[in-house]
């Protein structure tokens, strides 16, 4: 939804937030970018658990195994 099918930060929800509401991401929403890759799998998993800025936490929606699948780098 937000990060897009290819994880490049071009999903419809994020595009609407930027274009219609002027939202500016705190860090790149492109999960294929060097900035996101530098976080590593554990860093991304930490963001999934705690959330960041307007991104909610997913700790109640994804179990540990699902989070591991999402964070494969």
- Shared domain for 45 and 22, answered yes or no, is no
Q: Is 34 inside any structural domain?
A: no
pLDDT at 73 over 70: no
Q: Is 53 inside any structural domain?
A: yes
Q: How confident is the model at residue 27 (pLDDT cuts 50, 70, 90)?
A: confident
Give the span between the Cα atoms of 37 and 43, in whole angstroms.
Answer: 9
Task: Tell me how many domains the chain contains.
Answer: 2
Q: What is the domain range of residue 44?
A: 39-73
Domain of residue 43, CATH code: 1.10.760.10
- Shared domain for 3 and 25, answered yes or no, is yes
pTM value > 0.85 = no
The per-residue pLDDT of the chain, averaged, comes to 88
Q: Give residue 14's pLDDT.
A: 87
């Amino acid at each position: 939804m937000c990060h897009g099918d290819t994880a490049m930060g071009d999903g419809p929800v994020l595009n609407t937030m930027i274009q219609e509401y002027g939202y500016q991401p705190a860090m790149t929403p492109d999960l294929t970018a060097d900035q996101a890759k530098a976080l590593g799998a554990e860093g991304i998993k930490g963001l999934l658990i705690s959330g960041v800025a307007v991104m909610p936490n997913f700790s109640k929606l994804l179990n540990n195994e699902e989070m591991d699948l999402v964070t494969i780098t």
